[in-house]
Chains A and B, each alone.
Chain A
Amino acid sequence: MATLTLNDIRKSFGSTTVLHGINLDIAEGEMVVIVGASGCGKSTLLRIAAGLETPTSGTVRIADRDVTELEPADRDIAMVFQNYALYPHMTVFDNMAYGLKIRGMTRDAIRQRVEEAAGLLGITPLLSRRPRELSGGQRQRVAMGRAIVREPKLFLFDEPLSNLDAKLRVQMRAEIRRLQRRLGVTSLFVTHDQVEAMTLGDRLVVMNQGRAAQIATPMEIFAKPADTYVAAFIGSPSMNLLRATLDDGGRSATLAAGGSVSFDEPRPGPAGQAVIIGIRPEHVTLGGELPVAIELVEPLGSETVLHGTLPSGEAMAVRVQGAAPVNGGSMPVSFTHSIHVFDAETGKRI
């Protein structure tokens, strides 16, 4: 068990820069999830932590030891790959034992460790099978097992759930979380799925184009997104982002769509400054002066999502409990609470 520190990690491939200086401290036993759209650099960051990729500059420290120049094998880490990377010609047992064998562990010790891990994951009956004889979920477990037997300082997960079907993914997600808690191993987990990120991480790193847009707990990221990218990325359906200008005194703003929104605390800025007002679909108040022309109604059972447009042409989503109040036409709404304000130019929260 150890800490992981990434200090100002930069990475360029030729003239394209994929990471623009990432700083991250992971505490002992903590699980941090890196989340972002594809191509944001999240996998590269994980691979740098693993030592599969060398950073252009910056340092990687595991348990306060500078490992930037070390080979993956010397970092005392374990990794679960997206396609599991199980050696197809080895049995489950041999797959799990391979790393221990290379490290010169005795036969008995290997057997004991593998059986213990297999028991923990419920794959004991599969030990003599080959990977191609296993289902997706079972392979996933074996990949986990291979990581666990090593008793590493650090677990690295590279989108390990993305090849599973939806139901299995939810199940394995919970299982990974339980195991990680139980073993208390410091973990770094990469995913593009925001639900996975929210449910798994002690903290999240939301990445956008090679930068860490926000590093915080899931609830903090949900409640106080640092910029419009994070605001739109986390939460489903996405937060509504509407153009507006700040009123004198910063206590309210005038929407491009018409009408005004007032804040519970004043925002700094001159009158007339362009801002973006963010409001989550579930925080929209029904009734008011803003008409939404409803175009699509999505009944989800316990709730309903309505999609439409404001008079300004901006898209608007509203989430209500139970059935839809209207089936089309126009629905008046207003924004009374849980309002986010962002600088229109920088996208930063104000």
Chain B
Amino acid sequence: MTDPALRASRARQRRSRWFAHGALLLGVLIFALPIWITLVGSTHDVNTIGRGDVPLWFGAHGIENYLAAWSRGSAALRNTRAVPAGTMLWNSMVMATLIAVGKITISILSAYAVVFFAFPGRMLFFWMIFITLMLPIEVRIIPTFQVMVDLHLTDSMAGLVIPVIASATATLLFRQFFLTIPDEYVEAAKIDGAGPLRFFRDVVLPLSRTNIAALFVILFIYGWNQYLWPLLIITDTSLETIVVGLSKMIGRGDAQNEWNAIMATAILALLPPVAVVVLMQRWFVKGLTETEK
């Protein structure tokens, strides 16, 4: 009874589904493998890993390793001071939050000015801001460092945060979003008697909520993952961030390192941003695809 064409097409669909599952599963495994090794390694004592017996299942030293990493840290070389992961996590948290909040604040204000007003020099300002898009902080890192020295901002949270804020991606996103707000809202607000600041507070800000959330996720991760700039600007270990601190722990990768503590620190370093991405997935995807387009 069965039509051979139908049978062939069913078989094809089944093959395509199996292939999809296979490819995706493999992808998931490749993504997860290093994390698994790290997570498992972080629950063994230092000698197990140092010997090179790579464990594939959890050991018994998890709690003590994490406690040690959290409160004591680990140092690659005998002469450098270990920084507790707790301190570094706190620094990263503050830095990432300030970068996200700071950038959102200055960007939403400037985008509002550029979109909802006509004033002399508007286009000049717009292009000035736009140009900053092209040059990531890494390119201007040395001169920026010199500016920070002149301003006495090295080894400070302000020095860590502010230069990272100086770019326009968020301004552009808000500008694009503001342009989609119907003109009639502005007109209705004018007739209702709302001035520009009131309109900003009562209409624009509430309408921008999802954009702000999306941007927060992106910028928080961007801030958390900063590497070259903190490496350069911070010499005071009490301001060390976790990503830089982790890489410093490894040093030149000697086998004698306290690998279990390093693995625990690595897990701690990736946990907050990964949690943000997974928990706020919807906003994150929206924010990412819309900021960059």
Contact = CB atoms under 8 A, between A and B. Distances in A.
**Per the CB under 8 Å rule, do A and B touch in the complex?**
yes
Interface string A39-59: 000000000001110000000
Nearest to A82: B184
Contacts of B185: 85, 87
A81 B207 contact: no
Interface of B is mostly: helix
Contacts, number: 53
A291 interface: no
Contacts of B206: 89
B117 to A, nearest CB: 15
Given A85-B182, A87-B203, A88-B207, A102 B188 contact: no
Interface in B173-191: 182, 184-185, 187-188, 190-191
A157 to B, nearest CB: 13
Contacts of A82: 184
Given A83-B182, A88-B207, A102 B190 contact: no
Contacts of B190: 51-52, 71-73
Contacts of A88: 207
B202 A98 contact: yes
Contacts of B193: 73-74, 99, 102-103
B187 A52 contact: yes
A144 interface: no
Contacts of B148: none
A79 B202 CA distance: 19
A102 B194 contact: yes
B184 A89 contact: no
Contacts of A74: 193
A231 interface: no
Nearest to A103: B193
Contacts of B182: 83, 85
B188 A73 contact: no
Interface in A23-81: 50-52, 71-74, 77-79, 81
B184 A85 contact: yes
Contacts of B61: none
B192 A102 contact: yes
Q: How large is the interface on B (under 10, 10 to 19, 20 to 34, 35 or more residues)?
A: 10 to 19
Which has the most chain A C-beta neighbours within 10 Å: B184, B188, B194? B188
B194 A79 contact: no
B198 interface: yes
A89 B207 contact: yes
A185 to B, nearest CB: 15
Given A98-B202, A102-B198, A81 B192 contact: no
Contact of A79 (B188, B198, B207): B188
Contacts of A73: 190-194
A89 B207 CA distance: 7
A140 to B, nearest CB: 14
Nearest to B206: A89
Contact of A72 (B184, B191, B202): B191
B210 to A, nearest CB: 11
Which has the most chain A C-beta neighbours within 10 Å: B185, B187, B198, B207? B187
A85 B188 contact: yes
Contacts of B187: 50, 52, 72, 79, 81, 85
A82 B193 CA distance: 20
Nearest to A147: B191
Nearest to A50: B191
Given A88-B207, A89-B206, A98 B192 contact: yes
A77 B202 contact: no
A79 B186 CA distance: 12
A135 B24 CA distance: 43
B24 to A, nearest CB: 36
Contact of A81 (B188, B194, B198, B202): B188
B194 A77 contact: no
Contacts of B207: 88-89
A88 B208 CA distance: 12
Nearest to A95: B188
A303 to B, nearest CB: 40
Contact of B184 (A51, A77, A81, A99): A81
Interface in A98-113: 98-99, 102-103
Nearest to A143: B188
24 contacts: A51-B190, A52-B190, A73-B191, A73-B192, A73-B194, A77-B191, A78-B191, A81-B184, A83-B184, A85-B182, A85-B184, A87-B185, A87-B203, A88-B207, A89-B203, A89-B206, A89-B207, A98-B192, A98-B194, A99-B191, A99-B192, A102-B192, A103-B193, A146-B188
Given A73-B192, A85-B188, A102-B198, 5 more contacts: A52-B187, A72-B190, A79-B188, A87-B203, A89-B207
Interface of B: 182, 184-185, 187-188, 190-194, 198, 202-203, 206-207
Please give me the 5 A-B residue pairs with the lowest Cβ-Cβ distance, nearest first. A85-B184, A73-B193, A99-B192, A85-B188, A89-B206
